[in-house]
């Protein structure tokens, strides 16, 4: 079944060429026990290795079952070793970190035998060699004879046709040798056994046929086999190691050197720890910066007002001095500068016409958090207490930029002491929370559900001007407090201009005084649905004390009143249509606005999302003024304009630099893992040889070492993020003690996952070169190594 035809093999070391086999011709029967005798150095091992497919011949041919091997590929040799040949070595060559059972199973593992069958067959052969009791021991817990029995069991496990034994008793005492020889003899009953020995007595005693070897060729054969032709073909089952097997193999190997692996993983994890900490810190700082930014921008919206003040830097700075972002500019000079305040703050009249409002509405909704409008409309409201109906005197204006801006209407309805009216922005585009929900707490009642729901705004101490309450029809005589419950639910009637004013014979308009009748016929009723107060963490109080309602209510009122008689008359006349006094242009517009005849807002507040979008908004507003003459320009006030822009840019930069530094330690880790893997390859050289002898492919060897680095990489990654996570607690404590900022360092889970992945990838890269080196190792040399 096996023919060696004129096989030659020589080794070249440096300039010296050693001929190991010098034209060997020998045929073997399917079933015999052949002993090869010869002095050491005569080429016996070389021949055995070539027969077993571990080593390649230089010339000649090896014919297996009638098939020439000259065209064998690596995969064919691997399969041949795995399926057809079992090796038994003088030095046993067991894998020391695997149990006896695992050692015996390895060949079957490589050829993909199922776990159950593997176990069953391994136990069977171990029983056959008399080792049932030692299944779970490690090789170093056995005697030499026992180890050789394990090796024999391993050779038998895959049920090969050929057993190749290289001085199997060379390291054993006489008694043990005889026991092993008995075992081999028994095996030879149904297999071809080729045994190399330099002990002629043992050969005589046990072998069927003795071949004498000298200087690389056969000098005598006791029972030559001349018939050559045989052609039973056999299919070789290809071998392959699953990645799981590789993992298990390396896992068990690593388990034998826990300390080293642990330290390596720890050292390799330092880079990961550094990067993870830096990322968590920058994460936290970025969050702080973001919240600082939005606070700042909430405090300093861009304001477009009908009466804009072209403020100079100095006045702007004074305004900003209230905020946390104040930064004074100092001048270097030895002179005193004189200035005229009036010249420095010139009022500019902005025309907030529909075209401009449309322009504002077309602003990119990604840039703005909200846009708030304040319109000024005096409302004709009536309140009924008991049976008495009285008008509610109002004072219209805005309180945000300090003090109410009162409109003198002369209607008798508006007074400095009237109920403060203000409107809040309607929900902007796709905002989830309304302006009120975001900035005001409900103390009693509930947030408005419709346009006709209003709220009563109190200050931080729940105070409200007594005149406000008086005008709303509450008794204030000898009263210090009013229960929320008495306020919530208060109903007011809104009376349209046409109903409220009548034209006298003289052509002017005066308010009527049949309040009870108007009350009963009112078209719209308004309810105070809640008492609200600015939230504690909100900096801006846009709404003044008094009554606040949605801007959409104002829009509705204006839409209706624009066509009322009094408004139409006022539009035509340069006199106050109520008092018949002469009006200047500004007063006329104020009065019209008060009467609901002017839809232009008094002020627009634009709240940008962040500093970056604020710049875009400012550019957008500037673009409107492009090529317009001064009169038609719309001037805005950007209070936050000189606030230091603590954008993420700086943070990103710092993070990048730090990460770059920490990455250096990652590179160090990479090199270290490369070295460790290289050392491991050196240590496991013998194992590589054994695995190759058992039919492992080069690829499988690479796998074994990739599995090892994978384990190290995973450990170091996990260790790294665990340590980094644990470190965030003391780091946060320190930062909190130093700056008062709590929980700054926060490890983002995505970063953690990424870092584990990076650790794995880097160690795999670091280990890949040694793993490739391992695969390239010559199996014969690998087996020879100690």
Q: Which does 20 bind (CB under 5 to 8 A by kind): ligand ADP, Mg ion, none?
A: ligand ADP
CB 415 within 8 A of CB 594: no
Smallest distance, ligand ADP to C-beta of residue 34, A: 15
Chain center to CA of 110: 39
> Restricting to residues 6-35, which ones interact with ligand ADP according to CB under 6 A?
11, 13, 18, 20
Of 40-48, 391-399, 436-444, 498-506: span binding ligand ADP (CB under 6 A): 40-48
> Restricting to residues 24-63, which ones interact with Mg ion according to CB under 5 A?
45
Q: What is the dihedral of CA 439, 444, 447, 452, to 10 degrees?
A: -120
Comparing CB distances to ligand ADP, the nearer of 16 and 330 is 16
Q: Which does 689 bind (CB under 5 to 8 A by kind): ligand ADP, Mg ion, none?
A: none
Comparing CB distances to Mg ion, the nearer of 45 and 576 is 45
CB 511 within 8 A of CB 529: no
d(CA 543, CA 452): 17
End-to-end CA, the chain: 34
d(CA 761, CA 758): 5
Comparing CB distances to Mg ion, the nearer of 43 and 86 is 43
What are φ and ψ of residue 442, in 5° steps? -85, 120
Smallest distance, ligand ADP to C-beta of residue 717, A: 41
576 binds Mg ion (CB under 5 A): no
Contact residues for 500 (Cβ-Cβ < 8 A; gap 6+)? 380, 511, 512, 518
Q: Which does 395 bind (CB under 5 to 8 A by kind): Mg ion, ligand ADP, none?
A: none
d(CA 207, CA 186): 11
What are φ and ψ of residue 398, in 5° steps? -115, 145
Smallest distance, ligand ADP to C-beta of residue 53, A: 16
Q: Which does 38 bind (CB under 5 to 8 A by kind): ligand ADP, Mg ion, none?
A: ligand ADP
Q: Which residue has the tokens 């700082």?
A: 285
Comparing CB distances to ligand ADP, the nearer of 41 and 649 is 41
Smallest distance, ligand ADP to C-beta of residue 714, A: 38
Q: Which does 177 bind (CB under 5 to 8 A by kind): Mg ion, ligand ADP, none?
A: none
Comparing CB distances to ligand ADP, the nearer of 586 and 781 is 781
CB 296 within 8 A of CB 646: no
Comparing CB distances to ligand ADP, the nearer of 95 and 196 is 196
Of 36-44, 136-144, 325-333, 522-530: span binding ligand ADP (CB under 6 A): 36-44
Comparing CB distances to ligand ADP, the nearer of 214 and 348 is 214
**Length of the chain in terms of residues written:** 786
Comparing CB distances to ligand ADP, the nearer of 21 and 153 is 21
Q: Which residue has the tokens 């297996």?
A: 64
Q: Which does 42 bind (CB under 5 to 8 A by kind): Mg ion, ligand ADP, none?
A: ligand ADP
Comparing CB distances to Mg ion, the nearer of 43 and 597 is 43
Comparing CB distances to ligand ADP, the nearer of 43 and 445 is 43
Give the x-and-dash track for 43-62 against ligand ADP (CB under 6 A).
Answer: xxxx----------------
Choice from 17, 40, 140, 333 touching ligand ADP (CB under 6 A): 40
Q: Binders of Mg ion: how many residues, by CB under 5 A? A: 1
What are φ and ψ of residue 21, in 5° steps? -125, 130
Return the CA Rg of the chain: 48
Query: In the chain, helix, strand, coil percent, each to 5?
Result: 45, 20, 35
Vertex 613, ends 611 and 615: CA angle to 5°? 70
Q: Which does 244 bind (CB under 5 to 8 A by kind): Mg ion, ligand ADP, none?
A: none
Comparing CB distances to Mg ion, the nearer of 198 and 470 is 198
Choice from 26, 28, 42, 596 touching ligand ADP (CB under 6 A): 42
Contact residues for 78 (Cβ-Cβ < 8 A; gap 6+)? 238, 239, 692, 695, 696, 697
Comparing CB distances to Mg ion, the nearer of 213 and 705 is 213
Comparing CB distances to ligand ADP, the nearer of 34 and 577 is 34
Chain center to CA of 536: 34
38 binds ligand ADP (CB under 6 A): yes
Q: Is 9 exposed, middle or buried (0-12, 13-18, 19+ CB in 10 A)?
A: buried
Chain center to CA of 402: 47
Taking phi over 0 as left and psi of -120 to 50 as alpha, with beta for the rest, 345 belongs to beta
90 binds ligand ADP (CB under 6 A): no
Q: Which does 18 bind (CB under 5 to 8 A by kind): ligand ADP, Mg ion, none?
A: ligand ADP
Q: How far is CA 205 from CA 29, 581, 738, in A?
A: 20, 143, 88
Smallest distance, Mg ion to C-beta of residue 182, A: 23
Smallest distance, ligand ADP to C-beta of residue 25, A: 17
Comparing CB distances to ligand ADP, the nearer of 46 and 706 is 46
Q: Which does 46 bind (CB under 5 to 8 A by kind): ligand ADP, Mg ion, none?
A: ligand ADP
Smallest distance, ligand ADP to C-beta of residue 780, A: 6
Of 27-35, 39-47, 113-121, 297-305: span binding ligand ADP (CB under 6 A): 39-47
Q: Which residue is nearest to Mg ion (CB)?
A: 45
Smallest distance, ligand ADP to C-beta of residue 198, A: 8
Smallest distance, Mg ion to C-beta of residue 168, A: 12
Smallest distance, Mg ion to C-beta of residue 217, A: 16
Encoded tokens for 501: 């004013």
Q: How far is CA 661 from CA 267, 268, 278, 285, 296, in A?
A: 16, 15, 10, 19, 33
What are φ and ψ of residue 379, in 5° steps? -110, 135
CB 770 within 8 A of CB 693: no
Encoded tokens for 694: 């058992």
d(CA 765, CA 667): 11
Smallest distance, ligand ADP to C-beta of residue 176, A: 22
d(CA 218, CA 478): 132
Smallest distance, ligand ADP to C-beta of residue 165, A: 13
Q: Binders of ligand ADP: how many residues, by CB under 6 A? A: 13
Q: Which does 706 bind (CB under 5 to 8 A by kind): Mg ion, ligand ADP, none?
A: none
Contact residues for 707 (Cβ-Cβ < 8 A; gap 6+)? 243, 246, 247, 249, 250, 251
Binding site for Mg ion (CB under 5 A): 45
Binding site for ligand ADP (CB under 6 A): 11, 13, 18, 20, 38, 40-46, 781
């Amino acid at each position: 079944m096996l023919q060696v035809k004129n096989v030659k093999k020589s080794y070249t070391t440096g300039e010296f060429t050693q001929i190991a086999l010098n034209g060997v011709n020998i045929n073997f029967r399917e079933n015999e026990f052949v002993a090869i005798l010869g002095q050491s150095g005569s080429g016996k091992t070389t021949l055995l290795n070539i027969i077993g497919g571990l080593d390649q011949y230089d010339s000649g041919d090896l014919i297996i079952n009638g098939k020439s091997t000259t065209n064998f590929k690596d995969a064919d040799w691997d399969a041949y070793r795995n399926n057809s040949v079992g090796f038994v070595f003088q030095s046993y060559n067991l894998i020391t970190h695997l149990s006896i059972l695992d050692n015996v199973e390895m060949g079957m593992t490589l050829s993909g035998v199922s776990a159950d069958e593997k176990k069953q067959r391994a136990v069977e052969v171990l029983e056959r060699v008399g080792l049932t009791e030692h299944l779970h021991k490690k090789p170093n817990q056995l005697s030499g004879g026992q180890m050789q029995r394990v090796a024999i069991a391993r050779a038998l496990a895959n049920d090969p046709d050929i057993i190749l034994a290289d001085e199997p008793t060379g390291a054993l005492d006489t008694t043990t040798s005889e026991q092993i020889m008995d075992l081999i003899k028994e095996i030879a009953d149904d297999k071809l056994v080729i045994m190399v020995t330099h002990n002629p007595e043992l050969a005589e005693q046990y072998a069927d046929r003795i071949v004498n070897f000298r200087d690389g060729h056969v000098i005598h054969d006791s029972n030559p086999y001349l018939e050559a032709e045989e052609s039973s073909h056999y299919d070789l089952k290809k071998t392959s190691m699953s990645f799981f097997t590789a993992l298990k193999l390396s896992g068990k190997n690593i388990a034998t050197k826990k300390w080293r692996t642990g330290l390596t993983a720890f050292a390799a994890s330092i880079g990961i720890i550094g990067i993870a900490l830096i990322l968590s810190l920058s994460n936290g700082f970025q969050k702080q910066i973001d919240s600082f930014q939005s606070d700042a921008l909430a405090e300093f919206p861009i304001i477009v007002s009908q009466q804009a003040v072209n403020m100079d830097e100095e006045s702007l700075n004074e305004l900003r001095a209230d905020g946390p972002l104040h930064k004074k500019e100092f001048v270097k000079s030895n002179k005193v500068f004189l200035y005229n305040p009036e010249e420095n703050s010139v009022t500019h009249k902005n025309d907030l016409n529909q075209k401009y409002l449309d322009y504002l509405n077309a602003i990119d909704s990604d840039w703005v958090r909200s846009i708030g409008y304040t319109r000024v409309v005096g409302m004709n409201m009536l309140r009924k207490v008991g049976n008495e109906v009285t008008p509610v005197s109002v004072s219209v204006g805005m309180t945000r930029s300090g003090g109410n801006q009162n409109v003198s209407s002369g209607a008798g309805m508006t007074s400095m002491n009237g109920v403060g009216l203000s409107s809040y922005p309607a929900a902007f585009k796709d905002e989830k929370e309304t302006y009120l929900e975001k900035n005001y707490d409900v103390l009693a009642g509930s947030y408005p559900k419709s346009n006709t729901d209003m709220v009563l705004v109190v200050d931080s101490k729940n105070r409200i001007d007594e005149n406000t309450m008086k005008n709303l029809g509450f008794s204030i005589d000898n009263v210090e407090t009013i229960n929320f419950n008495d306020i919530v639910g208060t109903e007011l009637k809104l009376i349209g201009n046409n109903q409220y004013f009548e034209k006298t014979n003289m052509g002017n308009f005066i308010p009527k005084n049949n309040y009870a009748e108007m009350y009963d016929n009112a078209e719209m009723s308004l309810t105070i649905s809640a008492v609200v107060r600015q939230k504690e963490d909100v900096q801006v109080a846009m709404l003044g004390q008094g009554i606040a309602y949605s801007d959409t209510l104002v829009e509705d009122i204006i839409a209706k009143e624009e066509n009322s008689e009094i408004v139409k008359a006022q539009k035509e006349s340069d006199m106050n249509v109520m008092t018949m006094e002469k009006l200047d242009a500004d007063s006329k517009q104020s009065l019209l606005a008060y009467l609901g005849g002017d839809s232009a807002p008094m002020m627009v507040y634009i709240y940008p999302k962040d500093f970056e979008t604020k710049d875009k908004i400012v550019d957008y507003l500037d673009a409107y003024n492009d090529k317009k003459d001064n009169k038609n320009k719309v001037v805005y006030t950007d209070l936050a304009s000189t606030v230091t822009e603590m954008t993420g840019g700086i943070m990103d930069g710092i993070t990048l630099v730090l990460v770059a530094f920490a990455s250096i330690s990652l590179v160090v880790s990479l090199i270290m893992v490369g070295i460790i893997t290289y050392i491991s390859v050196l240590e496991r050289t013998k194992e590589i040889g054994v695995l190759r002898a058992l039919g492992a492919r080069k690829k499988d060897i690479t796998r074994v070492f990739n599995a090892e680095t994978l384990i190290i990489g995973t450990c170091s990654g996990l260790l790294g993020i665990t340590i980094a996570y644990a470190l965030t607690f003391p780091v946060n404590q320190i930062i909190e003690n130093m700056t008062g900022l709590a929980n700054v360092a926060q490890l983002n889970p995505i970063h953690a996952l990424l870092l584990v992945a990076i650790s794995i990838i880097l160690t795999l890269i670091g280990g890949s070169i040694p793993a490739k080196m391992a695969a390239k190792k010559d199996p014969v040399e690998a087996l020879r190594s100690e």
